[in-house]
Amino acid sequence: QDNNMGYTNYWHQHNDFTDDQWKEIKEEYEYIKEIVGFLIQDESTNDIIKFNGIGDNEHEDFYISKFARPYGSERYQGDDISFGFCKTARKPYDLAVWYMLTFINRINLSFSISRDR
């Protein structure tokens, strides 16, 4: 079995992004699309960045919102509503996922990131 199949990026979004932060994030995403747009299928909206890899072997959507999940939206007892993840199986679009996460972490230090090694 390919040990990349479960390769995952993780993050914690505790708060909404400010308008200025979201503007920076969206501008950086537009830059990413100019550089590696051939790798990703964009399904973003005004308040959401959502994309996946292109091709038969696409894996999981990368999805991040301007707004953190609200308290009370827990899906089960003990659900960490700040937690997000995207399994990419180290496919080429993983570069865009990790780049976006590191960029967001740089402008919002409360947005913590990690990934499988």
d(CA 86, CA 62): 6
Mean pLDDT of 47-62: 90
Mean pLDDT for 97-105 is: 98
Q: Is the pLDDT of residue 48 over 70?
A: yes
Rounded Cα distance between 1 and 23, Å, is 41
Is the distance from CB of 29 to CB of 17 less than 8 angstroms? no
Supply the pTM of this predicted model: 0.91
Q: With a cut of 80, say whether residue 56 has pLDDT above it.
A: no
Amino acid (one-letter) located at 80: D
